[in-house]
Each structure stands twice: as structure tokens, then as C-alpha cells.
């Protein structure tokens, strides 16, 4: 599985003026520049399989260069074995994740959702696995490039 590498491009034709907050004087360096788009930097283009963490997904949604489809919310127990619902994990799950790049949209299908799983494999933990502490929490999604 290959790490997805992206670069946020700057529109250097129109610098955004910045000012000193104390004096109000213009700062000599007019950065940051306006956002001009996103480009995939992997050699050969978007990787066929990759993973994405939620900080990356949330930032992309907020900044408009990433979107998701088929979002659902699921809850899983996060408490101790004797009271496993004392704490609740909330996970957002998706059908697809789309990057809006300067070369066009790149869509991935989610093949592994964020969630709470048994340590071995991708099954929902049994009561025995909870009691033994044999669980893990995945705060990422695994993706396959759509054809």
C-alpha cells in the first residue's frame, strides 16, 4: 500500500496582503497566497491503494478539496470490559472519498472503515475479546482507487 502524497498549490498571481496586527503597516512578505488547487505528487499518479486519517479528511472537507459520499455514523463501546458502554466511540464511515485536484477528480472506494475491531482481522469484537482487551480502534479508512 502506497502513501498518498499531495501538494496544495498557491496562486502566486494574486498575493494576499498581510498587515502587522500592532501597527497596521503592510508586512513585506505578502503570503499566504490564495489556494489554487490540489495536485497528487505520487510518481505515476494516484496510488491504487492507500489509507487516509480523519485529520486529513476533515481538513480537506473544510478547505473544499475533498468530499465524501455515503456518510453514516456508527457507535461502538469504548469502556472497560465490565461496563463497555460507559464510554462510546463515534465513527464516521463513508462509501467514497473524492479528491478534487487540478487534473480532475480522483475517487476512492472505502474498503476498510474506521471502527472498533478485534485485534486479529476486521471482525466486530466478541464479549470475550472485550474482556481480554483484544480490541483495537482504527481512526482511518483504507481506500481503493476507482477505475
For the stretch 4-45, pLDDT in tens is: 999 999 888 876 777 888 998 887 765 667 889 999 999 999
User: Taking residues 58-87, what's their average pLDDT?
Assistant: 93
Q: Residue 66: which of 88, 29, 91, 40 has the closest Cα?
A: 40
Q: Mean pLDDT throughout 102-128?
A: 91
What does the pLDDT read at residue 81? 79
* pLDDT at residue 99 is higher than 90: yes
Nearest alpha carbon to residue 27 among 35, 15, 36, 11: 15
Give the pLDDT score at 30.
Answer: 59
For residue 15, the model assigns a pLDDT of: 67
pTM score, whole prediction: 0.83
Residue (of 75, 91, 77, 73) closest to 135 by Cα position: 77
Q: State the pLDDT confidence band at 84, using cuts at 50, 70 and 90.
A: confident
42, 44, 51, 124 from 71: Cα distances, Å: 27, 29, 17, 20
pLDDT of residue 31: 62
Amino acid at each position: 500500500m502506497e502513501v498518498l502524497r499531495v501538494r496544495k498549490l498557491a496562486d502566486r498571481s494574486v498575493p494576499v496582503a498581510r498587515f502587522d496586527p500592532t501597527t497596521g503597516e503592510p508586512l513585506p512578505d505578502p503570503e499566504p497566497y490564495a489556494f489554487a488547487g490540489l495536485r497528487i505528487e505520487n510518481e505515476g499518479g494516484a496510488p491504487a491503494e492507500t489509507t487516509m486519517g480523519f485529520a486529513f479528511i476533515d481538513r480537506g472537507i473544510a478547505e473544499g478539496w475533498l468530499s465524501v459520499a455515503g456518510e453514516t455514523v456508527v457507535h461502538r463501546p469504548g469502556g472497560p470490559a465490565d461496563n463497555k458502554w460507559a464510554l462510546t466511540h463515534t465513527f464516521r464511515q463513508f462509501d467514497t472519498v473524492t479528491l478534487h485536484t487540478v487534473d480532475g477528480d480522483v475517487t476512492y472506494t472505502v474498503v476498510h472503515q474506521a471502527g472498533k475491531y478485534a485485534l486479529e482481522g476486521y471482525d466486530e469484537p466478541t464479549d470475550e475479546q472485550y474482556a481480554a482487551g483484544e480490541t483495537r480502534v482504527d481512526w482511518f479508512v483504507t481506500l481503493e482507487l476507482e477505475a
